[in-house]
Amino acid sequence: MIGVLPLQPDRPGRSGLPVRSGVPAIRAGTGGAALPEPGQRWIDRAALGLTAAACLAYLWVALAASRKPYWMDEVLAVWTARRGSVAAVWEALRQGAEFSPPLYHVLLRAILAAGFDDPVILRLPSILAIAVVALAAFVLARRRFTLPVACLALVFCLSGPLVTYAIQARPYAGVAACFALACLLWDGPAARPVSGRRALGIALLLALAVGMHFYAILLAAALGLMELVWMLRHRRIRWPIVLALLAAAASLLLWLPIMRAVSAYNHGDTAAPDYYARPTIERLVATYVEMAGGDDLLPPAPLVILLAAIGARLLAGRRGGARADGLGPVAGIICAVPLLVFAFAAVVTGTFNARYVIVTVLGVSLLVAQGVAAHRRSDVIACALIGVSAAALLWTAGRPWTFRREAAIDLATRAPAGLPIATGNGLRFFEIYDGVDRATRSRLAFLQVPDLSRSPDPTNDHQVARWARIDPALPIGPMDAFLAAHPEFLLYTDTTVPDQAADLLRERGYAAAPVLARAGMSLQLVRRPTAGRPDPDASRR
């Protein structure tokens, strides 16, 4: 006889701890099949529909923004990938073309070799990588919570600062995706032995991340902390996981020649008094604010979701705490990655930046899911918050974006004909040179000042100097030689970026008259001082 089966008791979860089944009561006459109530089915469908809208809006935003010109770091990555061979890529990195291992550049080189030299195509791996991070958040949450709550974790990843890194031809999104997939493989049932394939997958993913960025070694350390917590809880050692982590860490030795060269170049940058990426408490706090609440590219939907999740958890009290099934330590360690990287930067490298720790968003998304799931109306709350994220993404998709580099490229393109265009701004030099047509490019020149000791942060000037050695065809040369050959020229300046060349020209008495201006940037017609006007630096030259 078919009847109503008894409710399922608490079962051991993925971490071996009791966890509420979360399975709806089985309805009579179903032959033992668990069916959600009609109201729950509608909530699940609403969550899926809103999530689909958010995903489509994310793709729209990412693809639209990917049509924009490259910013400086992307220019460096693409130029490095365009070197003639893998050996040439290696040599360029050894000379300081980029401060990273070669695997990401090899990927870009493969795309370029297939004939796809387009910003959208070269940024597509990053767009897909952030989608992988979001799917990983969904799976980790779905293993423990209901469908709407898992969808919320996914949408949280797509509506925050990760979008900024999805639209960059840079390795950061790929590193985050590798770590997220490694976490998925690590998060297996406590009672199931770790298979060789599972351990190999973790090792390969983390090694791939290390091969794209040196700081990814700290992500392997974070996963090691997660495993340490697991071992302390279960009082046994999973040797396949331990060996996988050791193998991933050992992969760093493959890139030792590049790492040694990069270390020397990095020391020359970090010694500057106003180095842009110095590890400070203010920068650490700003990083957490960005990872948890979003950046200025999108509306602050992540902040709204985070605050709502905190509120739901506080209202629930102790309800639902066991349902997390060991997720708290995992999410907490991922959220602590900025602390780990900050400590490493303060002691070893002297460089800390939010882009090194974007995996933090994965941890925050899991904490959000845990907080919302604790409330008895978790599915309704999750649907409402998914709607907030979807609305924010759709609003963003409907408004035009303009980056400052676009304005700089536009100024150079509209420059009056007949005169060279010079700048001492390293950031804009790379962006303008890569973004303008061939005719405008032939007029560009970067002015190397004779003394960088007065610059508060010569990082970009150092990068220009390294590329002058890597590619001698670039129009980079001493400022004095350029001034001797050109009594008149156009000078590009940007009030938001230090420019030692512009400052030195003013000190030497060069007259400048604005020709074009836009958003704090300008092209100025510069003339050599008259014979009767003294040159303050003449004696030094």
175: CB partners within 8 A, 6+ apart? 209, 212, 213, 216, 219, 359
Q: Lowest mean pLDDT: which of 10-24, 72-86, 184-198?
A: 10-24
- Whole-number Å distance between alpha carbons of 71 and 297: 15
Residue 323 pLDDT = 55
Closest residue by Cα to residue 72 from 495, 503, 427, 511: 427
Residue 27: is its pLDDT beyond 60?
Answer: no
Per the listing, tokens 């590890």 go with: 279
Beta bridge partners of 477: 447
Q: Across residues 372-391, what is the average pLDDT?
A: 93
Residue 13: is its pLDDT beyond 50?
Answer: no
* Cβ contact 50:392 at 8 Å: no
Higher pLDDT, 534 or 228: 228
Structure tokens at 147: 């469908």
Q: Counting Cβ atoms within 10 Å, is residue 39 exposed (0-12), middle (13-18) or buried (19+)?
A: exposed
Residue 451 pLDDT = 86
- Whole-number Å distance between alpha carbons of 460 and 111: 27
The DSSP result for 143-187, as a single string, is: TTS-HHHHHHHHHHHHSSTHHHHHTSSSSHHHHHHHHHHHHHHH-
Structure tokens at 492: 């590009």
Residue 77: is its pLDDT beyond 50?
Answer: yes
Closest residue by Cα to residue 261 from 94, 101, 483, 91: 94
Query: By three-state DSSP, how is residue 41 classified?
Result: helix
**CA torsion sign, 165 to 166 to 168 to 169?**
positive
Residue 330: is its pLDDT beyond 50?
Answer: yes
Q: Lowest mean pLDDT: which of 6-15, 220-229, 433-442?
A: 6-15
Residue 8 pLDDT = 39
Query: By three-state DSSP, how is residue 321 classified?
Result: helix
**How sure is the predictor about 319, in pLDDT bands with cuts at 50, 70 and 90?**
low
Q: Give pLDDT tens digits for 144-156.
A: 999 999 999 999 9
Residue 192: is its pLDDT beyond 60?
Answer: yes
The DSSP result for 481-536, as a single string, is: HHHHH-SEEEEEEETTS--HHHHHHHHTT-EEEEEEEETTEEEEEEEPPPTTS--T
Residue 541: is its pLDDT beyond 60?
Answer: no
- How many CB atoms are closer than 10 A to CB 334? 26
Q: Give pLDDT tens digits for 229-250.
A: 999 998 999 999 999 999 999 9
